Amino acid sequence: MSLDYAILGWLSTGPGSGYDLVRQMDVGLSWFWGASHAQIYPRLKVLEERGLITSEPVTVGTKLEKRVYSITEAGRAAVSAWASEPPTYPPNRDSERLRLIFGDHGDTKAMRRHFETHLDRFEKRKANLQEFLDSVTSRKHQRIEQRIADAPTEALKEIPLAVRTMAYAGDLRRAELEIDWARECLAWLDDFERRHPEESRAG
């Protein structure tokens, strides 16, 4: 289950609460694995039962209790084993592409919204990825620095930075590609509506 390894992987870079993890799944981590709190909290309990993580309660203010989780040696071993497994790919699922191709009956307003949403989504994503990548390359990302510090040899200290640069830069280029794609589609649609003004209100 990838959610388990998203949690364990993140905890392998330092301790954190369930809520920290929830926020992480919204921002950084969610670029590769998103999950809601309804999934995360129960899963943390399972991982703790299995001895892959431990937790201790921390009191905030006078009453509010939060649990701060840390990865165990067994947890580190589990991440390491999972990371060395052969890649597996889930079936392709892209509901918006599906909507685009089966929405071919001529609702140009819906098509325009489709492309504009796509554009907006990937422009935001590009900005987020760029900002994150900058924080990584300028060595300001605390958790990644921790991973580097944990590496046992000089050579292995290259890896944490390199894999993240590759992964995030790859997704950044993908975001740029999606932006270009959406702009070209919008240009086609502009041209279509110019050539066929009578269809512009079709649904």
Site track for DNA across 27-66, x = CB under 7 A: -------xxxxxx-xx-xx--------------xxxxxxx
The least distance separating DNA from the CB of residue 189, rounded to whole angstroms, comes to 28
Please say which residue, 11 or 44, places its beta carbon nearer to DNA.
44
Residue 54 bridge partners (DSSP): 70
Q: Check residue 67 for interaction with DNA (CB under 7 A).
A: yes
Q: Helix 18-26 and helix 37-49: axis angle, to 10°? A: 130
User: How many CB atoms neighbour CB 20 within 10 A?
Assistant: 16
Site for DNA in 71-90 (CB under 7 A): 90
Task: Identify which of residues 63 and 93 has a Cβ nearer to a copy of itself in the complex.
Answer: 93
Q: Is 104 in the site for a copy of itself (CB under 8 A)?
A: yes
Whole-Å CA distances, 84 to 75, 80, 97, 117: 14, 6, 33, 37
Amino acid letter, 172: L
Closest CA to 40 of 7, 10, 76: 7
Positions in the binding site for DNA (CB under 7 A): 1-3, 17-20, 22-23, 34-39, 41-42, 44-45, 60-67, 90-91, 93
